[in-house]
Amino acid sequence: MGKRVALVLAGCGVFDGSEIHEASAALVHLSRGGAEVKIFAPNIEQRDVVNHLKGSPTEEKRNVLVESARLARGNIQDLAELKASEFDAVIFPGGFGVAKNLCSWAVDGKNCTVNEHVNFTLQAFHSAKKPIGLCCISPVLAAKVFPGCEVTVGQDKDVDGRFPDAETASAIVELGCKHICKNVNESHVDKANKIVTTCAFMCKAPLHEIFDGIGTMVQEVLKLA
């Protein structure tokens, strides 16, 4: 029987929700790994709604769970209903929705607060010694909730202009965590905490390299599960 994995979304669309390519990549690799997946998202209002054509905020109001249902093809549950006892692992794709809706990193940086259901979910899986996979910006959730953990968001310097958000690594270190520099096609495994991270779109890289990096994260999560 395949591993039971919960996938937590933050909306639909890179600028105000989950990064669609990352969510899809995680689902493809989980499917290939024989995992049984259920998808969740918090039933809350988005921090903002961004016109993805213009890249600017609008006056609309949207719900994170309702928007995430687009990616889940309608088969999704409220994050408040997630029980760690029913799963072997949990995975968080990235996207600005993580930093806006799952926590307030986009506004408050390392002084952010984490949504109560997201925090509860992370704590529950960690306490049960079940693996947690995170990609792109979502490793900041682990850095905020688990001081001292090891994560990667790619490189800590903007190497060749490929890591424009390299300062995120410094903020992670300021939270008392260890940042491990990795390339886009790699992931890092914090064996002590069972946290697996990869940088994904924190790196300006071809889509197939991001897809492969997420694949290594998913494979490591399934190995630990």
- 12, 135, 136, 203: which is the annotated catalytic residue? 136
**Residue 177 falls in the annotated catalytic set:** no
Distance CA 27, CA 54 (A): 28
Helix axes 20-32, 64-71, angle to 10 degrees: 50
CB 42 within 8 A of CB 115: yes
Residues classed as catalytic: 136
